[in-house]
Amino acid sequence: MSGELDPRLLTRAREVVAAITGFRDDAIATEAMERVVRAELTRGRSAGDLLGELLQPVSPLSATLARSVLVGETYFFRQPEHFRFISQEGVPAALRRGALALRGWSAGCATGEEAYSLAACLQSSLPHGFPVEVLGTDLQESSLETARRATYGSWSRRESAPRLFPLYVELGDREVQILPVVRRVTTFAQSNLLAPLPERFGRFDFILCRNVLTYFTPAARDAAITLLSRTLNPGGLLFLGAVEVDRVPPGMVREGPPELQCFRLLAPGESVAPSSRTRASDRARAPEKPERPAPPATKPARAAAAPPPEPSRIHLTALERIEEGDEVGATAVLEALVRQSPDYLPGLLELALLRERSGAREAAVPLMRTLRSRAERLPPDQLVDGPEALPARFYQASADAYLNQGTLE
Ligand SMILES: C[S@@+](CC[C@H](N)C(=O)[O-])C[C@H]1O[C@@H](n2cnc3c(N)ncnc32)[C@H](O)[C@@H]1O
């Protein structure tokens, strides 16, 4: 059935999908929703009937619409640096804390490659027989069925992600089967990242939530991160995808290089060094006028123009606007900042991310390109001043991850 669909129906469908998934408006694929609606109309239902169903708090149609927009792209040992870090740093640290078992969660696991990769990583990094458990959760039940079958084709293996730890055996030319020892410790359950994980699943030492929050509104992303952090054991590590967050989540500290996007939950009573953001705000609050009066000018005809505020100070003003929910105001501040200080990398990244979140990807891409070319010119380890001092390679990696996104997903 072709032809125009009732716009009220599509608007309501969009609202329902956004509420269930947490997706930004521009991350909700209209064609996918339209296919679902048209299929229902073809089965003889009227637009009014569908609209009535979508006005219910929960309904089968809402769930079908939400499932239709989910993107389940994944593969084994994606972002291998996370698995290396877990093996080389995370596991030894957990053992030093006295852990007697290690538990991982692949949150938004799609068809399970990430959960099995995490289980294999933990098992290979621990003494034989050390207890390991990994949970994979997703909203998409059909993906979880694939995960439970534990048989994968060539699409799940990519050159860019080496097989870091023993994970599967070949089944003929095309397929692979997850090793029984890995499969035994990995379970899957349906769960929405916007709702608390039921208590029975316990707490975790390692959580991977990657390439999921990139589709979320800022509010949904913050809510999901808060829920994730509540399920970590003290000292546990949360790994997010590149460019999914641009600051350290509350109650956590950064671990490893910034581009790793790894955050550790503080142990109770553990003191935090004041964050560089606080230090930057302190700098921003420094007295504007020199404490000693400047020597009198020989020609007092015109007052000297005040120097423009430091870029990181303007940036902090924009961050405050974002926190207040004033994205329009924040955009205006950042646009002025980028015009005034085109080499200030944190400003380019902030503005690009803000535009991306507001759905203006076409306006974010050129900024990310500029960011990459400016970051490339700096030595990778050179610290770039901003609300948080980060090395140039963080900005390059963020821009690369963003610009390569379209080719991977
Ligand atoms: C692109 S895949 C990423 C898979 C894996 N984490 C990786 O990085 O390879 C994103 C997954 O997140 C799931 N997802 C999206 N929104 C979700 C939500 N609100 N709750 C749970 N899962 C969600 C989708 O169903 C999809 O399987």
What token pair was written down for 104? 């991982």
Atom in ligand 1 nearest the alpha carbon of residue 110: 27
Q: Which residues 6+ apart lie within 8 Å of 122 measured at CB? A: 86, 91, 102, 104, 132, 134, 206
The CB density around residue 59, as the number of other CB atoms within 10 Å, is 15
The CB density around residue 297, as the number of other CB atoms within 10 Å, is 10
CB-CB contact of 192 with 20 (8 Å): yes
Q: Note the residue count of the chain.
A: 409
CB-CB contact of 42 with 70 (8 Å): no
Q: Which residues 6+ apart lie within 8 Å of 154 measured at CB? A: 174
Supply the pLDDT for residue 384.
83
Pocket test for ligand 1, best of 70, 81, 117, 214 (most atoms within 8 A of CB): 70
CA distances from 110 to 21, 146, 406 (A): 14, 9, 18
Pocket test for ligand 1, best of 67, 138, 144, 213 (most atoms within 8 A of CB): 138
Q: Check whether 276 has a pLDDT greater than 60.
A: no
Supply the pLDDT for residue 324.
66
What token pair was written down for 380? 């990778």
Q: Does an H or E element contain 142, and which?
A: helix 141-149
Segment 70-82, tens digit of pLDDT: 999 999 999 999 9
Taking the centre of ligand 1 as the mean of its atom positions, its distance from the CA of residue 315, in whole angstroms, is 31
Alpha carbon 52 to chain centroid distance?
34
The CB density around residue 44, as the number of other CB atoms within 10 Å, is 7
Pocket test for ligand 1, best of 139, 145, 146, 227 (most atoms within 8 A of CB): 139
- Which residues have any ligand 1 atom within 6 Å of their CB? 21-22, 70-74, 78, 108-110, 114, 138-140, 143, 192-194, 210-212
Segment 14-69, tens digit of pLDDT: 999 999 999 999 999 999 999 999 999 999 999 999 999 999 988 999 999 999 99
Taking the centre of ligand 1 as the mean of its atom positions, its distance from the CA of residue 137, in whole angstroms, is 9
Supply the pLDDT for residue 309.
73
Segment 349-371, tens digit of pLDDT: 888 877 877 777 788 888 988 98
Supply the pLDDT for residue 405.
60
Taking the centre of ligand 1 as the mean of its atom positions, its distance from the CA of residue 195, in whole angstroms, is 14
Query: Apex CA 406: angle with CA 337 and CA 331, to 5°?
Result: 20
Query: Apex CA 329: angle with CA 325 and CA 330, to 5°?
Result: 75
Helical H runs in 27-90? 30-42, 47-54, 60-68, 80-85
In angstroms, rounded to a whole number, what is the distance separating the alpha carbons of residues 79 and 245? 16
Q: Check whether 299 has a pLDDT greater than 90.
A: no
pLDDT category at 273 given cuts 50, 70, 90 is low
CA distances from 125 to 45, 55, 133, 195 (A): 55, 50, 14, 32
Helical H runs in 267-310? 276-284
The β-bridge relationship of strands 175-178 and 151-152 is antiparallel
Domains and CATH numbers, the chain: 7-68 (no CATH), 80-265 (3.40.50.150), 309-408 (1.25.40.10)
